[in-house]
Structure 1
Amino acid sequence: MSRTTFILPVVVLLVAAALSAIFIVDERQKVLVLQFGQIKDVKEDPGLGFKVPVIQQVVRYDDRILSIDTRPLEVTPLDDRRLVVDAFARYRIEDVIRFRQAVGVGGVRSAESRLEQILNAMTREVLGSVNSNEILSVDRAALMERIREGASNESENLGLEIVDVRLKRTDLPEQNLEATFARMRAEREREAADEIARGKEAATRIRAQADRTQVELVSEAEKEANIVRGEADARRNAIFAEAFGQDEEFFEFYRSLAAYEKALQGQNSSMVISPESEFFKYLKSQSGTAGAPAAQ
């Protein structure tokens, strides 16, 4: 009975020791086997692993792609137009041994703190070498790639691989927004004033052209009217001359009738004239001729 009592605890201890010597490596993890803080083995493939119980310990690290969001950072581009930049990066632990040597027991938290410093430094360096218009444009993939390449070179000492870097937000500081909006308003007002001035200039030019065209048209019309009027007067005079040449008496009679018509207009026309005047010679003639006076 006493022998069984002695053997059973020993068996339990041996089983516990055997179980503690076995560990499972997940496919999403990388595992280090440490002995008194020194790296003794690396397990990157999924499956079972073995270690010395009590003396050795297992440290697990995530082998998936991780992400880190940097805090808002103020940068100054070449045109001295300050911007607030908010970025994030995706990374993974590439060399788990170098990672352990670099961060020690701090793990991922310590690595991300140092990685954020690297990203901030590279962001300032890259964005400080270009104008703000390039940063604010939608086509800024080249800038993000430059930041990723620069950060990758620095992060190799941490055993990390930078997969991607993205700029989430690039805005002006709050204190600069109002001044920027004022400049934008002033620029738009200046453009509007230029457009109005150009419109007035064009209107004046068109109005002057229209006035000149009007004067030319009126002058040309008056010229043609005078020509037509002169031709009509000449034609009329020719007809009168022809009629005068055919019958001088009739022509005299016609002119006298026209003079009577003009002189005796209105209801109370009165004339002070000598009865012997030549004006009434046809009225005093019985035959309608100027040579035969009317009977008394």
Structure 2
Amino acid sequence: MMRAIYILPGLILAGALLLSSVFIVDEREKVLVLQFGEVKQVVDKPGLGFKIPFVQEVFRYDDRILGLPTQPLEVTPLDDRRLVVDAFARWRIVDLEAFRRAVGSGGVDAARSNLDKIINAEIREVLGGVNSQKVLSEDRTLLMNQIRDNSREKAAGLGVDVIDVRLTRTDLPEQNLEATFARMRAERDREAADEIGRGNEAAQRVRAAAERSKVEIVSQASKEAEVIRGEADAKRNAIYAEAFGKDPEFFAFTRSLTSYERALQAGNSSMVMQPDSEFFDYLRTEKAPVAAPAAPAQ
């Protein structure tokens, strides 16, 4: 009985020691076993691990690809046009011993802080060596790859691998936006004024050509009208002359009727003449006055 009393606590103590010496490694993590600050084991495969209880400590680190959004920073490219840039980096712990020596007990948070400084410095250096137009263009993959490669080289001492760096924003500083927009508006206004000026000049040329064509057409039409009118008058006079030659009395009668029609209209000026004037010959008699015979043709 007394032996059982001593054996039971021993078993409990042995079980506790056994449990404290066993640890489980998840597939998403890596583990360091330290003894008085010195690395004793590096476990990078999932499964069970063992350590000396109360002497050795287990430190777990994420084995997945981690993200790092950088803080916005201002950079000045070669053309002295300031830009606000931020980036997103992806990284992973590849050397646990070097990582532990570099960050100590700070772990992933300390590594993020150090990586942020490295990447920001590379962003300033790489983007500062090109023109802003190249930074703002869509084809800036070479710049991002250069930032990644330089950051990877400098971050190797931290025991991490920089997998990728992407520029997520490249904008003008807020205080420069209004000035840039004002300059863009001024350029567009100038272009619009140039287009309006060229349009007015072209319209003036078209109007001048149309006016010249109108004058030429009207002049030609007037010329043709005068020719036609002259020909008509000549033809009319010929008809009158032929009619007069055939029947002088009838010609005199029709000419008198035309004169009456023109002279005796409402609104005409008053006429004063003697009643026995030749003008009234056809109104005084029932017979037409006898006209002088036409002269014989020579």
TM-score (norm 1): 0.82
Q: Check conservation: 1:35, 1:57, Cα contact below 8 A.
A: yes
The residue number in structure 2 matching 1:57 is 57
1:226 maps to a residue whose letter is E
Query: Structure 2 CA distance, aligned partners of 1:207 and 1:171?
Result: 49
Q: Report the CA distance between 1:279 and its aligned residue.
A: 6.3
2:217 maps to a residue whose letter is L
Q: Report the CA distance between 1:215 and its aligned residue.
A: 1.7
| 1:57-206 equivalences in 2 (<5 Å) | 57-138=57-138, 140-206=140-206
SS of residue in 1 equivalent to 2:164: strand
Q: Report the CA distance between 1:83 and its aligned residue.
A: 1.6
**Alignment deviations for residues 105-147 of structure 1 (CA, whole Å, 9 cap, x no partner):** 3221221111001110121123223333443445544443332
| 1:168-247 equivalences in 2 (<5 Å) | 168-247=168-247
Residues 13-22 or 105-114, more deviating: 13-22
Q: Does 1:35 align with 2:35?
A: yes
The residue number in structure 1 matching 2:44 is 44
Q: Please report the RMSD computed on the Cα atoms of aligned residues, expressed in angstroms.
A: 3.2
* 1:14–1:284 CA distance, 2 compared to 1 (3 A): closer
Query: Structure 2 CA distance, aligned partners of 1:284 and 1:162?
Result: 132
* 1:5–1:283 CA distance, 2 compared to 1 (3 A): closer
Q: Check conservation: 1:281, 1:290, Cα contact below 8 A.
A: no
Query: Structure 1 CA distance, aligned partners of 2:291 and 2:13?
Result: 172
* 1:236–1:8 CA distance, 2 compared to 1 (3 A): same
The answer for unaligned runs of 5 or more in structure 1 is none
Q: Report the CA distance between 1:217 and its aligned residue.
A: 2.5
2:144 maps to a residue whose letter is M
2:146 maps to a residue whose letter is R
Query: Structure 2 CA distance, aligned partners of 1:204 and 1:22?
Result: 96
Q: Check conservation: 1:78, 1:128, Cα contact below 8 A.
A: yes
Query: Structure 2 CA distance, aligned partners of 1:244 and 1:152?
Result: 122
* 1:243–1:291 CA distance, 2 compared to 1 (3 A): closer
Residues 237-246 or 53-62, more deviating: 237-246
Q: Report the CA distance between 1:63 and its aligned residue.
A: 0.5
Query: Structure 2 CA distance, aligned partners of 1:218 and 1:151?
Result: 83
* 1:64–1:281 CA distance, 2 compared to 1 (3 A): same
Q: Check conservation: 1:282, 1:289, Cα contact below 8 A.
A: no
Q: Check conservation: 1:282, 1:290, Cα contact below 8 A.
A: no
Query: Structure 2 CA distance, aligned partners of 1:256 and 1:119?
Result: 117
Query: Structure 2 CA distance, aligned partners of 1:76 and 1:268?
Result: 97
* 1:287–1:62 CA distance, 2 compared to 1 (3 A): closer
Query: Structure 1 CA distance, aligned partners of 2:223 and 2:101?
Result: 106
Q: Report the CA distance between 1:223 and its aligned residue.
A: 2.5
Give the % identical residues: 62
Count of paired positions: 291
1:55 maps to a residue whose letter is V
The answer for unaligned runs of 5 or more in structure 2 is 294-298
Query: Structure 2 CA distance, aligned partners of 1:245 and 1:78?
Result: 106
1:37 maps to a residue whose letter is G
SS of residue in 1 equivalent to 2:58: strand
Query: Structure 2 CA distance, aligned partners of 1:62 and 1:237?
Result: 122
TM-score (norm 2): 0.81
Query: Structure 2 CA distance, aligned partners of 1:269 and 1:57?
Result: 141
The residue number in structure 2 matching 1:288 is 289
**Alignment deviations for residues 87-112 of structure 1 (CA, whole Å, 9 cap, x no partner):** 22221112223222322332212211
* 1:237–1:142 CA distance, 2 compared to 1 (3 A): farther
**Alignment deviations for residues 259-287 of structure 1 (CA, whole Å, 9 cap, x no partner):** 45545555884334696x77677778855
Residues 261-270 or 59-68, more deviating: 261-270
The residue number in structure 1 matching 2:296 is none
2:57 maps to a residue whose letter is Q
2:289 maps to a residue whose letter is G
Residues 203-212 or 246-255, more deviating: 246-255
* 1:268–1:139 CA distance, 2 compared to 1 (3 A): closer
Query: Structure 2 CA distance, aligned partners of 1:284 and 1:12?
Result: 168
